[in-house]
Amino acid sequence: MQIMKPIYRDDVPVGEEWLYEIKYDGFRALLSISADGKVTLKSRNNHDLTDKFPEVVRSCVHLLPAIKGFLPLVLDGELVVLNNKYQANFSELQKRGRMRNLTKIEKAAQVRPASFIAFDILEVKGKIYDKQRLSTRNKILEDVFKKVQGERLQLIEVFQDLQDIKKIVFDFKGEGFVAKRKNSIYLNGKKHQDWFKIKNWRLIHGILSSFDIENGYFDVAVTNGQELRPIGKCKHGLDAETFQTLRDFFTKNGERNGNKFTVPPAICAAIHTLDLYDQELREPEFAAVLPTMKMEECTIEKLKLDLAMLPEEVELTNTDKLLWNQPGFSKGNLLTYIREISPYMLPFIRDRLLTVIRAPDGVEAEQFFQKHLPSYAPDFVTAVPQQGETFCSCDNLESLVWFANHGAVEYHVPFQRSGSVMPLEIVFDLDPPDREHFQLSVQAAQLVKVLLDELSLQSFVKTSGNKGLQIHIPIREGSMTYEETAIFTQAIAFTIEKSYPDKFTTERMKNKRNGRLYIDYVQHGKDKTIIAPYSPRKTMEGTVATPLFWEEVDSDLDPTIFTIDTVVERVKQYGCPFGEFEKARVKQNMKNLLNMVHNS
């Protein structure tokens, strides 16, 4: 059976007859499970992908007892490696697709597992459903997934409200979305007017440096200091007259080398693209030629800001101002980092009172704390009135970018939600005397982890972004008071201090610690704060409070490598170590913890 393919469209169809789904950047595939339980994955071109995604196959095999009543079964969907719920990582998926060695495939499946996201169902119990309406197929698909639980096999989320999905796609920088007619049947290829693909274009600005007379492509570049940096090629999107004018200009004025005509950089253009992949624009299309734009404006820094898709609600200012002199990180670099990391950072600061440290003139200049809502704050920054004062929380992308644009370089939050007196988590702050003694925090974290494991508690660890480590234990809201968590944190801290008194201490006075690591269990209290996961720090290096995988906490760990320049790519390559934090909160086995507290 040939798959049904969405047709690209600029405008979005609206009305009661339409629904909307996220368009993931992955491999389109059919997942088949035969009556005897054999699992097969086939690409859109009918290539067998089964051996390349063993984790998906294993998940299906594990689910066989639950779904045997639906077999044989054929699902249509997308194979993806997810960065987060709404954004896939095509680069990581493509690496997997090129692998041949089964051992390497298995290793990749452990490090960056793929998932199959189902959005249609073509066969159930041997009956073909392609002539049934999409609304009917979706109900059957939902029935199947009532029996399915697991990360490797997921059901697509369906949106009825266009604005909801547009906001999600923008905030998470998704590839786009698909509009589907609810009463459509499943047809081969693109012989329909029922499924439409709407892309989430980035609008970038580049210099047209040369023209290939053989294939009709223009080379695109940006300035990087005094040099031109190539970023790809573009051909489509120009009307015939504009294309001919550009062609004539290059062939008449350019220096020829083989099929290419090169001119001194002068002509700039606005270009739609999905992203920059391997330093090449993805699916570029001309938006406009910009004869009045100067080449000096098409910089690598502007390219990064363009690709970041910063919200229009925030008027950016002084993006070239240096905030971290030593590594040369500008406010533009901070804005780009904050925007890219927002899907991973916002869940840990949303609906909590926010305290920021602002350094508008750089981390080496004057700095100040801010926890009250400024009078000039826009409406999208949440005001939180409490006891005659107005505080604020950062609940959306626009707010986060707005704070960064005003020079907020650190983001601190309490352990409870706004208006609540009950903690959402327990945190240990492991604070060595200085960076040179960072390995003390590694040793302390490993010891705490052993004790938490013995209590069957799932824990998460991050760098403080400065000189230490911090351990987070998610707990169900309302399950413990701060008085109860204090009993627990004190018991753990005293146990480690007693076992290794020459290395670790609970002494609050710095002059009495004598070079030992301070286990700060007192800091976990009502309205006290902790640096938020993924927050930058006002260190000289521009480091970040970076979530880690526990296996990274060893003698090789160096907290200075995690900066606003490296952390986004780290998350995309390895995934977010705190990605299961909310699920762990729900599933956390607190029996031993509560028994320990209540028996103390």
Q: Which residues are known catalytic residues?
A: 23
Nearest CA-CA partner of 198 in 221, 168, 224:
168
Would you call 194 helix, strand, or coil by DSSP? coil
CA dihedral 442, 447, 449, 450 (to 10 degrees): 150
- Spatial distance between the Cα atoms of 93 and 88, rounded to a whole number of angstroms: 9
Would you call 348 helix, strand, or coil by DSSP? helix
Cis peptide before 13 (omega within 30 of 0): no
DSSP, res 554: S
Residues contacting residue 1 through CB under 8 Å, at least 6 positions apart: 30, 74, 122, 130, 188
Residues contacting residue 24 through CB under 8 Å, at least 6 positions apart: 78, 80, 88, 117, 174, 175
- Spatial distance between the Cα atoms of 442 and 371, rounded to a whole number of angstroms: 32
Q: Which amino acid is at 90?
A: F
Nearest CA-CA partner of 581 in 22, 59, 84:
84
Would you call 267 helix, strand, or coil by DSSP? strand
β-strand partners of 430: 469, 519
Residues contacting residue 148 through CB under 8 Å, at least 6 positions apart: 63, 66, 67, 155
- The full length of the chain comes to 600
β-strand partners of 196: 7, 179
Q: Which amino acid is at 94?
A: Q
Residue 170: how many other CB atoms lie within 10 Å: 13
Which H/E stretch holds residue 197?
strand 195-199
Q: Which amino acid is at 546?
A: T
Both tokens assigned to 435: 């960076």
CB of 559 closer than 8 Å to CB of 461: no
77 φ, ψ (degrees, to nearest 5): -175, -160
Both tokens assigned to 53: 């995604």
DSSP, res 532: P
Both tokens assigned to 516: 């030992």
Both tokens assigned to 150: 């697991």
Q: Which amino acid is at 41?
A: L
What secondary structure does DSSP assign to 355-391, as a single string? EEEE-TT-TTS--EEE-BPPTT--TTSEEEEETTEEE
